[in-house]
Structure 1
Amino acid sequence: MYGVERTGVRFVMSSPSDPDRIGDYHAWYDVYGTVVTHLGHLVNCFRFENPAAAGSVEDPRSVAIYDIVTPDPATAWPATESSEGYPRYLYDDPRAQLVSPAMRGSWAHVGSLAKNGSRGAVTGVHIILSDGADDASRERWASQVLDTGLFYAASRLKLIEEAARGEALVNGRRISFPEPPTWLEIFETDQRDPLTAYPRTLEALAGSRRAAEIEQRQAGSFTFYSGYQAAH
């Protein structure tokens, strides 16, 4: 996952509206993700889930991270959504009603850190959405997190202003989205149990704290589910 020369990411949090049909939810999303990553603006999609999550707006079950490589990352999602190839037909599939969005937005890449040496394939991520403070504060914390050896890469991204992101027509439903936080941090791990990697990191960093001015809005750990990579 780490290593793409991304200029930003499209980030979506969602849950299945019917947990008993999680297989259908994933099947629909797999098709959708494959199509949109071949339109030339979002080149990769990596999907993660936490089966223990409540499936609410505050505790969504799944996240999708689409890598943006266009020179101006602000243009990637509008160009994708307005493309002739955008798979609007997929919303006619009844399984589309299973996708219950919790938050979405586009963030521009600000900086990344990565550990030297070999690593395994990504097994999960820890996501932090926050406001306040500056990039330097987040970079210092990311460096400490990577020093524990439980994560091998950390990316810092800043929200791109988007018009009319408060409401959208999704699957024939009018959905209201919360205002996305300014900052998105993605920590990548190859640990066998990715859901415990961040709690173990905090134990290892006992006595160290993130900058007090960072206002955390939402955070969670997720295991790798699937990925689609377009040729580029």
Structure 2
Amino acid sequence: MGLTAAFGILDAELNVLASELRSFSSGRAQLAAANQFSLLDECLLEGLLSRVWQSWCSFARVCVVDSCMGTTSASGAAVSPLIEAVSDPHVSWAAIRAKNKPNPPYWGATNTVLRVEPTWGDVDVLNKILTKLRPSNHLQLLAAFSSITPSAKALQTIRNGAAHHNAETMAEVRSLQSSYVAFRIDHPTHALFWTEPTSSDFLVTFAIDEIRVAAQAAIS
């Protein structure tokens, strides 16, 4: 696909999703209590959050796979291919091995079952994969992805909490509240509208903006 094209897709998707989230909040006088969210609200927000997370994961995957196979940055600089990165399935296999194995070899076989691939949007997983596979632009990718660790982790925690809603995942979401201007929540999606203190923006839209900036840095 190419890094520039991948960013274009991500940017367009985030623009639409951020607009929907802001539209949701603009129709309410305030969002500062759990009882201000209906069941339909929670279903809508869970869907929007899932799309945000999937868009980010898809972009991160392209960055790793294309960088290993060779590509060109947005500035026109060549990213040299790794000899072992013969195909997308070869990189997929290597990424799985890099996530799960402390030591090489990571290359050799192929994987074509996408559901067993790593969680591409998880910045800790990306750190492992990039550090071990070492595409020629890995330092740039590591710096870009590391810069959004708090925001990406918050979205991942809330998304997982919504997808696997139970007492433990709720506790994980609530553990984030010390970093935000928070109110009591009864569902993980309510936390999307906690306030990020440095920007006074909602957690979710602040995180989307952070992801966009980091993604642009990753491909530059």
Regarding TM over 0.5, the answer is: no
Q: TM-score, normalised by structure 1?
A: 0.24
Q: TM-score, normalised by structure 2?
A: 0.25
Structure having the higher helix fraction is: 2
Which has the greater radius of gyration? 2
Higher normalized contact order (CA 8 Å, seq sep 6+, divided by chain length): 1
Structure having the higher strand fraction is: 1
